[in-house]
Amino acid sequence: MSQQPEDSRWSFPRWSDKRWDERFSQYESSTEETSRIDNPQEDYASRGNDIRWILKSYDDDVPSREVELVVQFCRDICMGDLEKHHDRENPSVWLDERSHPLNPSPKGHTRLSNEPLTALALYKKLVEQRYNHDSLPNVDKRLIYIANVTRYHVAAILWAAPDDLVPALRDALFRHLTLQTALRVRITAMAIPEYRLEFHMPYFALRSSMKKLNKAHRQQIDLSYLDSTINEAGEQQSFEIHDAHISVVTCGREDRRWTTYCFDDNDFNPDHAMGEDEFTVIKVDQIFNNHRSFALLNDANTPLWDPREYFLSTVLARTNQVLEEWKDVVCFFEPRVIQHTNKRPSFTESGQAQIGTMGNEESFQWTQHTLNMLGDIMESLRRSHEALVKFVSSDGDIDYFFDISASTSQTQRRMKEVAVQIRAITDDMDRLQGRLAFIQGRCEKLSRFLELRLNFENMKEAKWSGSSVDVTILGISPVVIACAFFSIPDPIVSFKKNLISFTISVFIVALVLYIALEVKRGGSGRQSLWSRLKLGTRYIWIGDENLITTNESGNKVLRRRRTQPKTSSESIEMV
């Protein structure tokens, strides 16, 4: 029996140019780290803007935009600011530090952090000696999770960062602050290679309206113009969407020793603060936790030691979270747009069209606002979808995760299962893009109709205004001009001033103004009185039937002359 060909969508190559460097499995005895700062405990205010110095001293070719944006975000912070902010800061940092089970330590395996940390507390833990500490175990695996990054967090991790982590931090902070998308593996071609596994994904979070978060680098967009609903308490409830972003970066030089940073936006969630049960019942891995499903919670006390397996599992958990957020957004917009675009235009007593209870202009603004929102949503979803598709494609960076020689068969099997699930998420995202494109098309059709209708109404209004001007010129101006002429004490032309002469003067002025208006109409493409008289005379004397047409009422009228040049197709037909 012939073997059925494997579906190319679910086949992942196990051998390509993208291979995990074998040197990552060769463990060095050296555990030295070089910090950017010679004395981390010194007063940083003495250095001036120390953040710029940290970021740029590593490499003179660093793009200035990355550095300047991070520096601007920190706003000349110093160590004293961390200490002043400590007491009023809500702890939002989770730290997990462990020694590898194959590197036994008489001091234990974990440096305990049984509560969320402030920026200052994080800094104090990070500046502790990582290896060969007098009383603490070595830190082979370090996980740092920061929710709702502030300038205090950025300063804390940069001041304590060793040399080899500064480039990864600089890039991750820049991408997180600017809502960029990336999913890739980077391996530096150096004498001592380094790996960097990067996951950056923006999304929109739909939530009930809340107080302004006042985050300059994030938008909080009100959606009350779409509609509002009645909640369980019988109160009117409106919604808004928030800019949100997740960044996860795993970097290191060995498979047993690595660091993962995670920056996460979640302050729009009512229960975003870490609870005590997340440190007592089980120690929840906050990087792995997607905040949408308890089934995807991971106990940090049963850790994943392979950096690639941990990273890929985190990508799956977080993309599942992002997918659920996208579903919420699409399910919110879809019925409202369809309901609005399904309403047939009705006409008021004045003849103006309206959509539902909205007038043309109000409905046009509604449609344009919605189109702008849909454009931003679709672009963000498109970039996320493209990054995932590229990652799991036949030549994508997923190849780095299928090097059997560098991982156990059990780990390889789990990573392939995760990769298949990520592929399924891309299919779901593709369907969401199709639904968004459908409602975008409906909005565009309605927008074109409303634009034409508004132009038509503006033309009618302009025509009415022109008629009003004609009435003013022909009805009032002649009387005013005649009165002015009769009020001259010594006119150039002498005549008897009486009612008859006044009436004749009014008639003459009106005739002159009328002729001037007709000349103007003829010059602007409108059929003047003189043209109509010529056509009428020609029809009477010559009997040319082409000069006559029938209007909607069935009456014969003079055909209006053409005001636009013939098209090429019309010229051919005439020939």
10-residue averages of pLDDT along the chain (575 residues): 48 62 74 51 47 69 76 86 84 91 70 87 92 87 95 93 90 96 90 92 91 83 76 70 96 93 92 70 80 63 89 94 95 90 59 55 82 94 96 90 67 83 94 95 84 69 61 72 75 71 80 75 53 56 56 56 50 40
In this prediction, residue 181 carries a pLDDT of 97
Instruction: Note whether residue 72 is domain-resident.
Output: yes
Q: How open is the CA angle 230-236-242, to the nearest 5 degrees? A: 100
The model's pTM:
0.75
Structure tokens at 193: 């290679």
Hey, which bits of 461-572 come out as E strands?
548-550, 556-558
Instruction: Note whether residue 25 is domain-resident.
Output: yes
**Are the C-beta atoms of residues 219 and 243 closer than 8 Å to each other?**
yes
- 117: closest CA among 78, 157, 77, 79? 157
In this prediction, residue 325 carries a pLDDT of 95
- 245: closest CA among 291, 176, 144, 150? 176
In this prediction, residue 554 carries a pLDDT of 58
**The total number of residues written for the chain in this structure:** 575
Radius of gyration of the chain from its Cα atoms, rounded to whole angstroms = 37
Structure tokens at 530: 């003189």
Residue 519: φ, ψ to 5°:
-60, -40
Number of compact structural domains in the chain: 2
3-state secondary structure of 140: coil
| Residues 126 and 268 placed together within one structural domain of the fold | yes
Report the alpha-carbon distance of residue 299 to residue 318 in Å, rounded: 16
Where helices occur in 295-359 by DSSP H, the ranges are 307-342
Instruction: Note whether residue 2 is domain-resident.
Output: no
Structure tokens at 46: 């003495």
Whole-angstrom CA distances from 125 to 146, 152, 262 are 14, 15, 17
**Are the C-beta atoms of residues 77 and 47 closer than 8 Å to each other?**
no
| Residues 511 and 409 placed together within one structural domain of the fold | no
In this prediction, residue 489 carries a pLDDT of 72
Last residue of a domain, one of 432, 453, 474: 453
- 254: closest CA among 208, 196, 205, 194? 194
Q: Strands of 345-347's sheet, edge to edge?
A: 345-347, 353-355, 358-359
In this prediction, residue 354 carries a pLDDT of 53
Instruction: Note whether residue 536 is domain-resident.
Output: yes
Instruction: Note whether residue 150 is domain-resident.
Output: yes
| Residues 187 and 312 placed together within one structural domain of the fold | yes
Last residue of a domain, one of 427, 453, 479: 453
| Residues 178 and 261 placed together within one structural domain of the fold | yes
